Structure 1
């Protein structure tokens, strides 16, 4: 479980990591437990998309 005070997000609009207060939810990926995890958000998305493609999960 993620501590609500220590949430980090990756902003798709500004291409940077933000804390709990930041851009609108539709422009962000997260929450992440650490700032470092949020910094690698796009890499994680890419890895998951590739795994879904390999497994034939088109949903």
Structure 2
């Protein structure tokens, strides 16, 4: 029986490499899954952008500039 599930990608924060679903390292060094290799490669930028957006939303909610 073969695995027909789609390939997913993870970003390894320790090595800076993108890993495929079948070649994953320890969960403690991974971000993901991502649908494409490029999305995984941009994981740190995406996380930084999301965090900035959340901080802005939180400041707005609290009524701070």
Q: TM-score band (shorter)?
A: 0.7 to 0.9
Partner SS for 1:6: coil
Deviation at 1:22, TM superposition (A): 2.1
Gap regions ≥5 residues in structure 2: 60-65
Larger Rg computed on CA atoms: 2
Greater RCO, CA 8 A, separation 6+: 1
Gaps of 5+ in 1: none
Q: Provide TM-score, normalisation by structure 2.
A: 0.75
CA-atom RMSD, angstroms?
1.7
Choose the corresponding residue for 1:47, options 38, 44, 49: 49
Q: Give 1:8-47 correspondences, 5 Å limit.
A: 8-20=9-21, 21-47=23-49
Q: Which 4+ runs in 1 deviate beyond 4 A? A: none
